[in-house]
């Protein structure tokens, strides 16, 4: 079945540094979604990418979907302490009715 | 709108006990799912439903049952709890994917410990 892998598993940065997490799927994806989970919280939707090579920005966050639609990345510019949390990518499974999540990248930002 | 609600927030069970985790949504979403989250494992799909009366298995369904009698509710039943089921359980719902847009809305989670 579809496998979604994320690297790195953990990342510790100083506030103001940049951060990138990478997501790779074993199969071509119709779309990919990104979620953020704060410590002790629940996953919250960030964005969905659908088109090959798509790039979307949300303030300091930049999301990319690979040309082959098998990989994606999330880049945060000038991290802030509010960026702390775990970032998950997820691909659709079961005809799109549910998601297959990567194991996530946990980001720690120290001031 | 309350969104997706889950009860209880915390639960401790003894091995062999049964219980039901409740999930409800008030957004009239057709699709609902149950995930479990374990340290370092991400979220793994247990069961999902595409509408009232229709359920199917996800990747880790063993030891769990579900039913969907209404659009709003999607309870998860543990028939005989085992320590391996100690986890955080999240319920999620989403719009129809017909428009190829199916953001999942998650509930706050139930933290279950099985002794």
Res. A41: pLDDT tops 70: yes
Neighbours of B2 (CB within 10 A): 9
Separation of first and last alpha carbons in chain A: 41
Residues of chain B whose pLDDT is less than 70?
A: 96-101
Residue A93: per-residue pLDDT: 85
Please name the member of B31, B100, B109 whose beta carbon is closest to the beta carbon of A42: B109
Report the pLDDT value the prediction gives residue B97, as an integer from 0 to 100. Answer: 59
The reported pLDDT for the residue numbered A43 is 97
Contacts of B35 in chain A (CB under 8 A): 101
Put simply, the answer to whether A103 touches B41 (Cβ < 8 Å) is yes
To the nearest whole percent, how much of chain A has pLDDT over 70? 100
C-alpha B23/C-alpha A92 separation (Å) is 22
A46 touches chain B (CB under 8 A): no
Determine the distance in angstroms separating the CA of B41 from the nearest CA of chain A, rounded to an integer: 5
pLDDT of residue B100: 58
Residues of A in contact with B110 (CB under 8 A): none
Q: What is the mean pLDDT of chain A?
A: 95
pLDDT tens per residue across span A6-40: 999 999 999 999 999 999 999 999 999 999 999 99
Looking only at the bridges linking them, the beta strands covering A71-76 and A19-25 are: antiparallel
Main-chain phi, psi angles of B36, to 5 degrees: -120, 145
Closest residue by Cα to residue B5 from B86, B76, B106: B106
Convert the pLDDT of each residue in A86-96 to its tens digit.
999 999 988 77
The residue with greater pLDDT, B102 or A69, is: A69
Q: Looking at the predicted structure, is the pLDDT value of residue A57 above 70?
A: yes
Q: What is the pLDDT of residue B56?
A: 95
State yes or no: pLDDT of A73 exceeds 90. Answer: yes
Query: Inter-chain contact B107–A100, Cβ cutoff 8 Å?
Result: no
C-beta atoms of B48 and A97 within 8 A? yes
B interface test, pick of A51, A92, A98 with most B CB neighbours within 10 Å = A98
Predicted pLDDT at B49: 94
Residue A2 is predicted with a pLDDT of: 84
pLDDT number for residue B98: 56
pLDDT at A1: 80
- B85 Cβ contact partners less than 8 Å away, ≥ 6 residues apart: B36, B63, B78, B112, B114
What is the rounded average pLDDT of the residues A58-63? 98
């Amino acid at each position: 079945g579809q496998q979604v892998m994320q690297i790195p598993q953990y990342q510790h940065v100083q506030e103001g540094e940049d951060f990138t997490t990478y997501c790779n799927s074993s199969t071509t994806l119709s779309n990919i979604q990104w979620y953020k989970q704060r410590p002790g919280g629940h996953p919250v939707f960030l964005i969905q990418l659908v088109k090959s090579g798509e790039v979307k920005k949300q303030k300091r966050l930049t999301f990319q979907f690979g040309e082959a639609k098998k990989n994606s990345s999330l880049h945060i510019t000038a991290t802030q302490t509010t960026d702390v949390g775990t970032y998950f990518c997820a691909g659709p499974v079961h005809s799109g009715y549910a998601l297959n999540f990567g194991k996530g990248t946990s980001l720690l930002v120290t001031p | 709108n309350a969104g997706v609600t889950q009860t209880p927030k915390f639960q401790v069970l003894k091995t062999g006990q049964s219980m039901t985790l409740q999930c409800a949504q008030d957004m009239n979403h057709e699709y609902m799912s149950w995930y479990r989250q374990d340290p370092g494992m991400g979220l793994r799909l247990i069961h999902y439903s595409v509408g009232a009366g229709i359920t199917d298995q996800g990747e880790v369904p063993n030891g769990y049952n579900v039913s969907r009698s209404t659009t709003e509710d999607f309870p998860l039943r543990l028939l005989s709890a085992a320590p391996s089921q100690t986890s955080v359980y999240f319920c999620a719902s989403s719009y129809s994917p017909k428009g190829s847009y199916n953001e999942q809305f998650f509930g706050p989670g139930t933290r279950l410990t099985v002794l």
